Amino acid sequence: MELPGLAFAVWMFICFYATVDGYPNGKVREACTSMIPCHGSSPQLSPEHTITVNGTDFKPGDSIEVHLSGPDFEGFFIQARDAEHLDSPAVGAFMLVDRRHSQLLTCGCTKNSAVSHTSKAKKKYIKVYWVSPGDAPKHVQFLATVVKKYKTFWVKIPGPIVSQPNAPSPTTPLHTTSEAISTSHPISYLSKRFNASGCGSMKFCIRNPSNCDPESASCFFLSFRQEKSSVFIEMSGPSEGYLAFALSHDQWMGGDDAYLCINEDHHVHVSTARLKGRSPPILDSENVLEDVSWRLVDGVLQCSFRRSIRLPAYKGRFNLDASYYIFLADGEANEGGLIYKHRRQPLITNGIYNVTDLPQDIGGSRSPRLIKAHGALMFVAWITTVSIGVIVARFFKPVWSHSFLFGKEMWFQVHRMLMLTTVMLTSISFVLPFVYRGGWSQQAGFHPYLGCTVMALTIFQSLMAGFRPSRHAPRRQLFNWFHWSTGTTARILAVVTMFLGMDLPALDLPDPWDTYTMIGFVAWHVGIDVLLEIHSYCLIRKVEVIDDDRVQILQSLTSAEAEASQNFGRLFKQIVLTIYVCGNIVFLIAFLAAINQI
């Protein structure tokens, strides 16, 4: 899809929703062929409105008075068609009587070949004139679609048939009953849940979590089984709103072939749709799906249907014998069947697949690989390397002051190595979202702004460290203050940025686990820091540090007592550092495991 992944944001999608399109202004040219409004629900069968005319025969060029009447209605759409071929284009042209409530539309190549409403204002009666063309068919029937309210409408209500003089009897029976013409295939109710038998051997399956059982209340399941020239599709998942899947040429939302199962007042409506960019899906008025069935039990929505592998007559429907990325999404819908944008990233296959090729049993990810790598590298940098590096520099100067590594004091070399690693990991991670998005994300909230700030502070900190004055230089105190304040600010902002990033749709870690775990890490770090500060305070009560190499023993202590106190202090700090490093690794593993699961 053209998005990310979707998304995104949804992500990024909280408090923002979109609904399927309607036509309150009567500009319904997209429904010229099917006469079905894109309201995302099924039409009623027994119409309440009638069409009448002032005659039963006509000659080319004659005008016929046409009336549409009945209980209050908001919208309408009137056409005249060849009575023997009701799927053929509209014929003739209309003339208006009341331009306040009706307007002319051009369907196909015939100008003014349809009439529709101008607004959703309620009306009971419409009058127009139809002018027969020179090449009119022998028998013409008037059809009307009437919208009582958004979810209540009738499609192709049959009106009177008018014929040319001495026209031969029709070769096929004409539809003259009061029942609206059926526009959809029959729908049945599933008697039992789907199962995964045959996945990888007889049918192509996508499951999330991997290898989950579609009978489970937490399993998202999508399967394709080829049957001669068609494909039978099953879709299941924990949703009381809607489930949808789409075929896409890329991993971004837009220009895709989508299929939705929408819960409408505890009945499931199955529809095809088109996706244009990040706009709401446009539900198709023409139903190309057969053998539609559904089930909604215990919060699990399931639907199945059949579709021909190739549909050359339907624009926007992809051929199923080609390879695509496959998206699987879920979201909320209101009681009328209006759908809201998914709040989390859709499940996306890691590659392109041909569902009519060799059967496979695969999983997918709700987070793109580049975004996963971005999160993982940031966690490594700001949970392990920078935190350990700060502890070492702050509390281990006197402990490792006489130990050297590559000609420098050990504490300094360890600190520098960890900080350079942090800069490297942060820089690589910083670039990945821009590579994935192809630019700046407008829907990620404050996260990218804070991330750029952290990156700038990280670079500034490393440059400042490269120009640090010598230990006894007059500007060393000023450097120490700037070095500490910049590093502390960067660490605080990094933690805030990670808090915000964990709940973005592109990397939506389990909630509230992610928040509690990050709070636990912050508490763990602060606790260790406070413990070492208390220990240093207690130690300084016994000894006074004169410089990094010499310690003057206070008069109240013997040399042996001072030496023992120093040794105990060193051992205590090393034990605390070991425990701290192990704890940080545990937190890091927990976050990396969570990233791997999404």
* pLDDT tens, the chain, 598 aa long: 444 444 333 333 333 333 334 556 556 666 788 788 877 667 887 889 999 999 889 999 999 999 999 999 999 999 999 988 888 889 999 999 999 999 999 887 888 999 999 998 999 999 999 999 999 999 999 999 999 988 788 989 999 999 998 888 765 555 555 555 555 555 567 767 788 999 999 999 999 888 888 888 889 999 999 998 999 999 999 988 899 999 999 888 888 999 999 887 778 888 888 887 767 777 776 678 888 898 888 888 999 999 999 988 787 789 999 999 999 999 888 765 577 777 778 888 988 999 999 999 998 777 888 888 999 999 999 999 999 999 998 888 877 767 777 778 888 899 999 999 999 999 999 999 999 888 888 778 899 999 999 999 999 999 998 888 888 888 888 998 999 999 999 999 999 999 998 888 777 787 788 888 999 999 999 999 899 888 877 766 655 543 444 444 444 445 565 566 667 777 888 898 899 999 999 999 998 888 877 6
The pLDDT of residue 173 is 56
Shared domain check, 316 and 233: yes
pLDDT of residue 70: 93
Same domain assignment for residues 383 and 358 = no
Same domain, yes or no: 145 and 265: no
Q: Please indicate, yes or no, whether residues 353 and 432 belong to a single structural domain of this protein.
A: no
**What's the domain count of the chain?**
3
Cβ(364)–Cβ(348) below 8 Å:
yes
Which of 129, 163, 197 is the endpoint of a domain? 163
Residues 227 and 149 in one domain: no
Quick count: other Cβ atoms within 10 Å of Cβ 167? 12
Q: Residue 157 in contact with residue 145, Cβ under 8 Å?
A: yes
Do 298 and 332 lie in one domain? The reply is yes
In a domain, 150, yes or no: yes
**CATH number reported for the structural domain that contains residue 526 in this entry:** 1.20.120
Q: Is 453 exposed, middle or buried (0-12, 13-18, 19+ CB in 10 A)?
A: middle
Which domain covers residue 44, as residue numbers? 29-163
Query: Do 148 and 204 belong together in one domain?
Result: no
Looking up tokens 């924990």 gives 238
Same domain, 240 and 314: yes
What's the token pair of residue 396? 């281990």
Last residue of a domain, one of 319, 349, 365: 365
User: What confidence score (pLDDT) does residue 561 get?
Assistant: 59
Amino acid 240: pLDDT: 82
CATH code of the domain covering residue 301: 2.60.40.1210
* CA–CA gap between residue 536 and residue 543 (Å, rounded): 10
**Same domain? 484 vs 537:** yes
User: In 3D, which of 107, 87, 90, 96 has the Cα closest to residue 66?
Assistant: 96
Q: Which one of 365, 395, 415 terminates a domain?
A: 365
Quick one: pLDDT at residue 171?
A: 58
Using an 8 Å Cβ cutoff, are 122 and 72 in contact? yes
pLDDT of residue 17: 34
Q: Which pLDDT belongs to residue 107?
A: 86
pLDDT at 541: 63
How far apart CA 203 and CA 220 sit, in angstroms, is 16
pLDDT, residue 554, reads 44
Residue type for position 432: L
Q: Is residue 404 part of a domain?
A: yes
Omega within 30 of 0 (cis) for the link into 469 = no
Do both 80 and 146 map to the same domain?
yes
Is position 9 within any domain? no
Q: Which residues of 149-161 are buried (b: 16+ CB within 10 A; e: fewer)?
A: ebbebbbbbbbbb
Distance CA 541, CA 539 (A): 5
19 found inside a domain: no
Q: Is residue 179 part of a domain?
A: no
For the chain, the 3-state helix, strand and coil shares in percent, each to the nearest 5, are: 30, 30, 40
**Does 447 lie in the same domain as 584?**
yes
Any idea of the CA torsion for 472, 474, 475, 480, to the nearest 10 degrees? 50
Residues 381, 359 within the same domain: no
Which CATH number fits the domain that encloses residue 63?
2.60.40.4060
> Could you tell me if residue 328 is inside a domain?
yes
Positive or negative, the Cα torsion across 453, 457, 459, 460? positive
